[in-house]
Each structure stands twice: as C-alpha cells, then as structure tokens.
C-alpha cells in the first residue's frame, strides 16, 4: 500500500522569532569583534615590523660609523636625564636616583661622546655604542635618549639608562624591553654567570664583559645603578620579568 508522507508544518512562535533575532545579532556582533581584533593585530604587527626596520637601520649606521671611527662630542648636555616610561616609573621617581644623577654629573662632568643618525621614519636617534650578546643573538645599537624620548626609543633599541659611557670606568646601565619573544632583552633572563657581553664604543673599541651576577629586584630597588666600581668597568642590564612586576638585573665586568 502506498503511503503518503505529510510534512508537519512548523508553527513559528513569537519566542522562536525572538531567539532567531538574538542569534542574528550575536552573529553580527561576533563578526564585528573579530574584524576589530584582526585590525588591531595587523596594526600591531605592522608597527613592530617598522620598529624592527628602524632598529636594523640604526645598527647599520653604528657599524658604518665605528668602522670610520668618527665621533661627535656634545658639550654641556644635561646629564640629569630622567626616563619616564611606565616600565621604569618607580626607578625614575626615586629621590635616591636623582641624587645619584647629581653626584655622577659632579664627579664625571657633563660631556658625552655621542653620534646621531636620521632614519627613514624622519626621526633622529642619538647613540653611544653597540651591544652584542652572542649567546642570545642580541646585536643592537645603544641609544641615548632624553627623558621625553625614552618611551619611544625603547621600542626601537636598548637604551643607556644611566651611568658611564661605553667602555669607560664606571657602571653603564642599559635598559631593554622584555617582549617575551626574541626581541631586544627578551632572552636576557636566560643568561647565566659566565656568559659574555660585547660592548663597542664609537671609537671602534670592543671590550668583552663576563657576567658575574644575576638577580631579581622590586621596582623601587635601584642599587644596581650604583657607580662605585673601584676603578672597574661594569655593565648592568635591566629588563622586566615576564609578568612586568619585577626587574631582572644582570651584572658583568670587563674580562681581563
């Protein structure tokens, strides 16, 4: 016997209509959120690529300058430059640090040997040397920013934060961002006692420093900036822990 199949008609209730409308709205909102997040990601990656290009351009410039051993002396430049990046805010706000700046300026004078380069982004960057850490593939110019410049310049390359000039007696303190990747000082927390750091000054002199201490401090602890080195040449690397709540300090002394 043939059977006739009859499809039951579905009655669309007001509640079902409301659920369908909510689903459509949520779907559209989800698409909008995804597009916004994707736009932020693309913009962020573009900015990082631009900063990487500027960083490489600066390194190329310092290589050319050090090979020619050309230097520029800036006289009577304010030595009491105070960095104001959020990452270093507690360091900077310390009155002890300000006093150390004053003492250092009095003991060493205000003359600084620097050179500058105008990059393709139209900005002029001043730098004092070059830092290489073979173990973690670090090779960057050491920039020399003012307080207003530090926030932007740290995105381009490690910066001189405080202290003596490269390869001079004293404690050269170099700050670098920890982006938790392979960029700048992200791998500095993996360094060990005995690892080596190479510093090249603008006279094309390269000295090797060996790490003798590494420790973690709270942001308000600025003892790593101390300039009492008993006539020795010291390097201090400063970066953030992965959670940005504390500082990783790496100390190295000239290898003799």
Question: 254 with 209: CB under 8 angstroms?
Answer: yes
Q: Specify if 2 maps to a domain.
A: no
Q: Specify if 27 maps to a domain.
A: yes
In angstroms and rounded to an integer, the radius of gyration of the C-alpha atoms of the chain is: 27
Whole-model pTM over 0.75: no
CA pair distance 87, 91, nearest whole angstrom? 9
Q: Specify if 10 maps to a domain.
A: no
Q: Report the range of poorest mean pLDDT among 78-92, 131-145, 202-216.
A: 78-92
Identify the pLDDT of residue 97: 41
Query: To which residue do tokens 């603008």 refer?
Result: 202
Q: Specify if 161 maps to a domain.
A: yes
Q: Name the pairing type of β-strands 159-162 and 170-175.
A: antiparallel
Percent of the chain scored above 70 by pLDDT? 65
Q: Specify if 12 maps to a domain.
A: no
The two structure tokens encoding residue 18: 């409301």
Query: Is the pLDDT assigned to residue 22 strictly greater than 60?
Result: yes
Q: Per-residue pLDDT tens for 178-218? A: 988 888 899 999 999 999 999 999 888 999 999 999 999 99
To 5 degrees, how large is the angle CA 89–CA 95–CA 97?
70
Q: Specify if 9 maps to a domain.
A: no
Q: Specify if 4 maps to a domain.
A: no
CA pair distance 80, 226, nearest whole angstrom? 15
Q: Which residue has the higher pLDDT, 247 or 3?
A: 247
Q: Specify if 155 maps to a domain.
A: yes
Residue 43's CATH number: 2.40.260.10
Question: 157 with 144: CB under 8 angstroms?
Answer: no
Query: Is the pLDDT assigned to residue 64 strictly greater than 60?
Result: no
Identify the pLDDT of residue 188: 95
Give one DSSP letter per residue of 11-79, joined into a string.
P--HHHHHHHHHHHHHHHHHHHHHHHHHHHHHHHHHHHHHHHHHHHHHHHHHHHHHHHT--EEETT---
Confidence of residue 109 (pLDDT cuts 50, 70, 90): very low
Domain count across the chain: 1
Identify the pLDDT of residue 73: 34
Q: Which range marks the domain in which residue 101 is found?
A: 19-254
Identify the pLDDT of residue 103: 53
Q: Which residue has the higher pLDDT, 56 or 163?
A: 163
């Amino acid at each position: 016997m043939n059977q006739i199949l009859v499809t039951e008609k579905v009655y669309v209730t007001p509640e079902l209509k409301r659920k369908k409308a909510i689903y459509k709205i949520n779907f559209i909102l989800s698409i909008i959120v995804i597009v916004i997040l994707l736009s932020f990601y693309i913009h962020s990656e573009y900015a990082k690529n631009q900063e990487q290009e500027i960083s490489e351009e600066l390194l190329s410039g310092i290589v050319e300058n050090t090979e020619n051993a050309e230097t520029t002396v800036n006289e009577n430049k304010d030595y009491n430059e105070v960095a104001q990046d959020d990452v270093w805010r507690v360091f900077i706000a310390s009155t002890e640090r300000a006093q150390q700046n004053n003492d250092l300026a009095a003991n060493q004078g205000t003359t600084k040997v620097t050179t500058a380069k105008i990059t393709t982004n139209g900005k002029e960057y001043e730098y004092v040397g070059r830092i290489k850490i073979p173990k973690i593939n670090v090779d960057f110019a050491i920039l020399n920013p003012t307080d207003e410049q530090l926030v932007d310049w740290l995105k381009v390359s490690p910066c001189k934060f405080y202290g003596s000039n490269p390869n001079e007696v004293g404690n050269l303190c170099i700050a670098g961002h920890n982006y938790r990747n392979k960029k700048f000082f992200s791998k500095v927390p993996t360094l060990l006692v005995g690892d080596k750091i190479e510093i090249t000054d603008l006279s094309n002199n390269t000295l090797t420093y060996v790490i003798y201490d590494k420790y973690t401090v709270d942001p308000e602890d600025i003892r790593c900036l101390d300039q009492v080195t008993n006539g020795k040449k010291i390097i201090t690397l400063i970066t953030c822990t992965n959670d940005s709540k504390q500082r990783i300090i790496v100390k190295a002394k000239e290898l003799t």
